[in-house]
Amino acid sequence: MICEVEMSYTEQFGVKPGRALKLDKIDPAFTDCRESHKDAAKELDRDRDKLRSLQELLYADGRFSLLICLQGLDAGGKDGTINHILGAMNPQGCSVVGFKQPTREEVAHDFLWRIHQQTPPRGRVTIFNRSHYEDVLVVRVHELVPEAVWSHRYEQINAFESALVDDNTHILKFFLHISKKEQLRRFKERLDDPAKQWKISESDYKERRFWGDYKRAYEDALSRCSSKRAPWFVIPSDHKWFRNLAVARIVVEYLEGLKMRFPRPSVDIEHIRREYHAAKER
């Protein structure tokens, strides 16, 4: 089933620049007019085909690069989203970077140093699994640096992202919004599935005590760092299939808006065509 009338997901889920965000007002179980994965299956296939074609065009055009940042609480679906997006793309033109606790070398530099090294060159797509926003999220929640330090980082992040966009690196940032109840269900799923037990960490349950603190930290980060040039999107993610659909749709809409084109051939096509026909006659 395809929704006949729907608002653009870019508009529907985008965080309005300069406007305070309240996550409690966004339903993480929202699925638009669809009731199940079956309802969205054809749309998912269609968008994956479009993603594949647009990524090839991005590579051929060579003027732009695309940086996708994925953030979310534990079990929010970052890995699943990456698998869905990358599964539709040519791996030669894509990469994934995961940011965990900084190394000693990384800590010796400014917090954006390790990030800048991983941004995509022109023609390529890079997906960040967690990102520079960890330095205004976990750092804030667990008081790893003083407020005077992390509160200044919003401006630094905005300036950093603006500089990337000036250099034709386009940025899409997705917060995968799940409910506290759905997170617990997914943790239980990991406990019961031997193939997922390796993902379990004691910190998963401990971090749930900071749910409210993380929510406030995310609300501030998304409100203060969403712009027309580097937008944030809050994606309802209790249903994995809708999460995948919404993220893919936004990426497709954005890439289509770049008006990319295949470059002109660097050889004389008619001459090569004549050579081809001559070779067939020999």
Indicate whether 267 pLDDT > 60: yes
β partners of residue 94: 125
Strands 169-177 and 232-236, by their bridges, are parallel
The pLDDT confidence band at residue 2, using thresholds 50, 70 and 90, is: low
Q: What is the pLDDT of residue 268?
A: 80
Distances from the Cα of 22 to the Cαs of 212, 236, 267, in angstroms? 12, 14, 56
Evaluate whether residue 143 is within a structural domain.
yes
Convert the pLDDT of each residue in 248-257 to its tens digit: 999 999 999 9
pLDDT digits (tens, 9 = 90+) for 57-78: 999 999 999 999 999 999 999 9
As a whole number, the mean pLDDT across the chain is 94
pLDDT at 1 over 80: no
**Lookup: tokens for 34:** 């669809």
Q: What is the pLDDT of residue 269?
A: 81
pLDDT at position 163: 98
For the chain, percent of residues with pLDDT exceeding 70:
98
Task: Report whether pLDDT(5) > 60.
Answer: no
Q: Tens digit of pLDDT for each residue in 174-200?
A: 999 999 999 999 999 999 999 888 888
Q: How many domains does the chain have?
A: 1
Task: Answer whether residue 188 is part of any domain.
Answer: yes
200 within domain boundaries: yes
Note the pLDDT of residue 115: 98
Tell the burial category of 73 from Cβ atoms under 10 Å away from its Cβ (0-12, 13-18, 19+).
Answer: buried
Assign 129 a pLDDT band (cuts: 50, 70, 90). Answer: very high
What residue spans of 124-231 are helical by DSSP H?
138-141, 147-150, 153-166, 180-192, 202-207, 211-224
DSSP summary character for residue 198:
G
Task: Say yes or no to pLDDT of 3 above 70.
Answer: no
Q: Does 1 map to a domain?
A: no
| 2 within a domain of the structure (yes/no) | no
Exposed e or buried b for every residue in 226-259, given b needs 16+ CB within 10 A?
bbeebbbbbbbbbbbbbbbbbbbbbbbbbbeebe
**Average pLDDT, integer, range 206-226:** 97
Lowest-pLDDT range, 1-15, 88-102, 168-182, 204-218?
Answer: 1-15
Q: Domain holding 95: CATH number? A: 3.40.50.300
233 belongs to a structural domain: yes
Would you say residue 4 lies in a domain? no
Q: Which whole number is the average pLDDT over 104-108?
A: 95
What is the model's pTM? 0.94
By C-alpha distance, which of 104, 128, 103 is closest to 118? 128
Q: Is residue 3 part of a domain?
A: no
Model confidence pLDDT, tens digit, residues 25-40: 999 999 998 989 999 9
pLDDT of residue 231: 98
pLDDT in the model for residue 265: 86
The whole domain housing 160 covers 9-281
pLDDT at residue number 134: 97
Q: Is 221 exposed, middle or buried (0-12, 13-18, 19+ CB in 10 A)?
A: buried
Spatial neighbors of 255 by CB under 8 A, at least 6 apart, are 51, 54, 55, 57, 58, 66
Single-letter amino acid, residue 108: A
